[in-house]
Structure 1
Amino acid sequence: MQRVQNTAARLVTRAKKQDSISKIMRDLHWLPIRKRIAFKISLLTFKALHGQAPPYISELITPYTPYRTLRSSTQNLLKAPRRRPRTAYGRRSFAEAAYKEWNNLPLHVRLAPSINVFKTQLKTFLFNQ
């Protein structure tokens, strides 16, 4: 998929094959495929946490709420899935991927007040990573 995206970027910009693809992608403001996947997972997680996703998606994630007051109680984290997957296929499940992607985001992104602000901050974070 990354190769297809690189070819499309070169086609759109009419760049030569030897031109730097990272500069072309940055100029087009396109995320690489892996970061695009992280963007989509994080966006779906945000929607699920704010009641904008289908119920079957929202049921897959659980907000982390400690039993007593801890510093992490204000971090807007997700709880790890109950059963940790043993296979690579299981590690690609939405529940596992959402938990990892969401908890790796900086706090200011997780606490975004609206979906538009969240998308902007998330894309900026992923570009700067």
Structure 2
Amino acid sequence: MSFQCYVDDTQLYMAIAPTSNWIDVASRLQTCLSDISSWMRSYFLKINQEKTDFIIFAPKHRIHHFNEVSIIFDGNKIKVSSCVKNLGVFFDSVLNMDNQIRNITKSCYHQLRNIGRIRPLISESACKTLVCSLVTSRLDYGNALLYGICTSSLTKLQRIQDTAARIITRTKKHDHITPVLVNLHWLPVEHRIQYKLLLQTFKALNGTSPLYIQELVQVYTPRRSLRSENSMFLVQSRARTKS
């Protein structure tokens, strides 16, 4: 079983095959949790049951098989969740990121409404500073996870950026927004996501990213001498998209 440890948060996770026996999987999880609980009791610590979440990620056509699944932890039944929050990002069971998009949209529009109310009283520079710290930061946080989301979800995020640009420059609703974004030197949301991925890849190749990210990025080395051996091509991992 694998794990990730943060400041005050620990995550256990394991990969299971579609044909796995859930009783065996649940037994392994419960045994591990029991060991953790025993260790904590020996040091006079207690796990907060209310903050303990349990989620199964699966393809959309299989997720309904796990609706009634649960595990026993310290005598309490923990039911499977449809969405969990991880370091400020919402993950749903089918990884379509809809909950994360809704959370970003709600918080950003709340901040934009407040900024819009005081816009006549502040300068454009001050307004841009507010938008960058309260809105753009939310759009950019964890945005590499949004690569490949559906166009409708991407459009919702782009509308937030367009609204922020209109508030800063006091552009009318029906005026074309592209020249405004160019003038502000703002990349569209889709390109900001791509930029974040490229930046992480660059850091991984140059050894400035965490080790677990560096292990995911491997330079392609041909078996024999080819013209492409110095082109810095990357190894594309194989993945089954059907099951």
TM-score band, normalised by the shorter chain? 0.5 to 0.7
More helix as a share of residues: 1
Which position in structure 1 is the counterpart of 2:175? 19
Pairing partner for 1:63 from 199, 211, 219 = 219
Q: Distance in 2 between matches of 1:85 and 1:34?
A: 26
Q: How does 1:42-121 map to 2 (within 5 A)?
A: 42-81=198-237, 83-86=238-241
Pairing partner for 1:39 from 186, 192, 195 = 195
Give 1 or 2 for the bigger CA radius of gyration.
Answer: 2
1:74-113 CA-partner distances (Å, limit 9, x unpaired)? 11110111x32417xxxxxxxxxxxxxxxxxxxxxxxxxx
Pairing partner for 1:2 from 153, 158, 161 = 158
Q: What amino acid maps onto 1:57 in structure 2?
A: I
Q: Which structure 1 residue ranges, 5 or more long, are not aligned?
A: 88-129
Instruction: Tell me the CA shift for residue 63 of structure 1.
Output: 0.6
RMSD of Structure 2 on Structure 1 (CA): 1.2
Q: Distance in 1 between matches of 2:198 and 2:177?
A: 25
The structure-2 alpha-carbon separation of the partners of 1:33 and 1:57, relative to structure 1 and needing over 3 Å to count, comes to same
Q: What amino acid maps onto 2:233 in structure 1?
A: L
Pairing partner for 2:185 from 23, 29, 36 = 29
Q: Distance in 2 between matches of 1:29 and 1:71?
A: 38
The structure-2 alpha-carbon separation of the partners of 1:9 and 1:43, relative to structure 1 and needing over 3 Å to count, comes to same
- TM-score between both structures, scaled by the size of structure 1: 0.63
1:39-78 CA-partner distances (Å, limit 9, x unpaired)? 0000000000000000011111111111112121111110
The structure-2 alpha-carbon separation of the partners of 1:85 and 1:34, relative to structure 1 and needing over 3 Å to count, comes to farther
Q: Provide the secondary structure at the position in 2 that maps to 1:64.
A: coil
More strand as a share of residues: 2
Aligned residues between the structures: 86
Which of structure 1's runs of 4+ aligned residues deviate more than 4 A? none
Q: Which structure 2 residue ranges, 5 or more long, are not aligned?
A: 1-156
